[in-house]
């Protein structure tokens, strides 16, 4: 499978636009629309928070009714439409209805996304303006759409892969994503829309997206918080004529989808608020994969681990501390720990063996964790379970960004 490209040249049957509707006081792009020229099979994964934004609730309802006929995803940034009561629900539905009226489909065939400040009602006059502007934009502009859904992101996030099947047919999978803060591995962890011109059933999109999310969006941490609006969609319109149905072709589609989703998820961490380091946490030797994921998540979320990495302090004791409170039993006398530069765990430096520190070079350890990309490998000596989670450091800038987010 080729690497995902950080751009989108177009996906057959889909058109994307990003415009300025006036929601953001800065005048930045703040409204995106993705439209398919034919009905799509679609699925979504959503925040597990008990405080769900109005668009999340509306989308869950629409997908339960019309998962085989979705035509569009409409997104605003600058206002989350969360904790907004019945008016917020009415506004989310009106956002779908205004779009549906313009593209001649049912209201339930439109999915809606919102991101921004919680507790503020959508300015529906600006929402309508955004819909009209987006539909009047003749260009297919995924870059503008990716920019328009950003909040504290510093750059747009895009990925695409082209796949050729065993029969010689080709299709594309492409996606955009936003997220920089309020990121934790508790599906989902941001807003993301992934589309493909392959032909799939709603059940196939649901199964594929769930599997992809498990190893991508559910494996990232910036700050340990899960948003009220977290949503990821997969839409398949079949415009390429390629219909992966054999076991081999479906496995190929899954691999390609995993590639796109992993690229987008990792981009979120790399662009995390105030981030200076991208950290790969690999846990092996756990009782099972779920236990390994639990340990890795705990290490990845730990403020003490994250601040140590920001300060270039090779304080490995904080990693063992976090692993020990993850709720997974293991024998501390069998634990081993390595640091490695980069993401491939090449030339690792072992710091701990059998639960005790080795006579390693502190200078070498400091040099490794001073790199912009660092790997942590922890072996618990308790089984065959393994998992990887991507996280980042905590910097002064993270505090500055979130201390005055509304101002």
What gap in Å lies between CA 177 and CA 232, rounded to an integer? 9
Q: What is the pLDDT of residue 190?
A: 78
In which region does residue 201 sit, left (phi positive, over 0), alpha (psi from -120 to 50) or beta (all else)?
A: beta
pLDDT, one tens digit per residue, over 319-368 is: 999 999 999 999 999 999 999 999 989 999 999 999 999 999 999 999 99
What pLDDT was estimated at residue 1?
A: 65
**407, pLDDT greater than 60:** no
According to DSSP, the β-strands at 170-178 and 349-353 are unpaired
Question: Can you give the residue ranges of every domain in the chain?
Answer: 14-270, 278-403
The pLDDT score that the predictor gives to residue 226 is 75
SS3 label, residue 297: helix
Its CATH class, for the domain covering 278-403, is alpha beta
pLDDT of residue 183: 60
Q: Indicate the fold that domain 14-270 takes in CATH.
A: 3.60.70
CA distance 245 to 135: 34
- On the question of pLDDT at 188 being above 60, the answer is no
Dist. CA 248–CA 166, nearest whole Å: 8
Question: How much is the pLDDT for 61?
Answer: 98
Q: Which residues are catalytic?
A: 189
- pLDDT by residue (tens digit) across 105-160? 999 999 999 999 999 999 999 999 999 999 999 889 999 999 999 998 999 999 99
pLDDT of 182: 61
Chain segment 76-110, per-residue pLDDT in tens:
999 999 999 999 999 999 999 999 999 999 999 99
DSSP state of 40: E
**pLDDT value of residue 273:** 78
The pTM for the full model equals 0.92
Cα–Cα distances (Å) from 251 to 163, 218, 257, 263, 387, in that order, read 12, 20, 10, 18, 21
**What average pLDDT does this structure show over 277-298?**
96
């Amino acid at each position: 499978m080729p690497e995902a490209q950080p751009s989108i040249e177009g996906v057959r049957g889909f058109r994307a636009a990003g415009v300025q509707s006036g929601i953001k006081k800065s005048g930045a792009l703040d409204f995106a629309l993705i439209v398919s020229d034919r009905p799509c099979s679609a699925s979504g994964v959503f925040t597990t928070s008990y405080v769900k934004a109005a668009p999340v609730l509306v989308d869950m309802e629409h997908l339960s009714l019309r998962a085989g006929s979705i035509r569009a995803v409409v997104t605003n940034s600058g206002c989350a439409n969360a904790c907004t009561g019945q008016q917020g629900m009415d506004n989310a539905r009106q956002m779908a209805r205004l779009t549906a009226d313009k593209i001649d489909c049912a209201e339930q065939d439109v999915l809606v996304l919102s991101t921004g400040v919680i507790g503020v009602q959508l300015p529906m006059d600006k929402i309508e303006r955004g819909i009209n502007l987006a539909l009047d934009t003749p260009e297919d502009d995924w870059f503008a759409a990716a920019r328009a859904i950003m909040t504290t992101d510093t750059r747009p996030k895009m990925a695409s892969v082209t796949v050729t099947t065993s029969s010689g047919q080709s299709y594309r999978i492409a996606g955009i994503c936003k997220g920089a803060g309020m990121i934790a591995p508790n599906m989902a962890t941001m807003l993301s829309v992934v589309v493909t011109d392959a032909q799939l059933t709603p059940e196939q999109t649901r199964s594929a997206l769930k599997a992809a999310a498990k190893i991508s969006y559910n494996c990232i941490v910036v700050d340990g918080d899960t948003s009220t609006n977290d949503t990821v969609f997969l839409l398949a319109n079949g415009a390429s004529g390629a219909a992966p149905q054999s076991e081999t072709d479906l496995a190929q589609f899954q691999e390609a989808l995993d590639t796109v989703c992993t690229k987008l998820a990792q981009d979120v961490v790399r662009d995390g608020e105030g981030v200076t380091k991208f950290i790969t946490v690999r846990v092996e030797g756990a009782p099972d994969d779920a236990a390994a994921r639990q340990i890795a998540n705990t290490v990845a979320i730990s403020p003490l681990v994250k601040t140590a990495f920001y300060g270039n302090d090779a304080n490995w004791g904080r990693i063992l501390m976090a692993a020990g409170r993850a709720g997974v039993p293991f024998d501390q006398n069998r634990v081993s720990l390595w640091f490695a530069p980069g993401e491939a765990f090449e030339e690792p430096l072992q710091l701990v063996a059998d639960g005790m520190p080795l006579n390693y070079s502190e200078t070498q350890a400091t040099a490794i964790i001073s790199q912009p990309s660092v790997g942590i490998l922890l072996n618990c000596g308790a089984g065959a379970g393994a998992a990887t989670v991507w996280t980042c450091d905590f910097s002064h800038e993270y505090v500055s960004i979130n201390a005055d987010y509304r101002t």
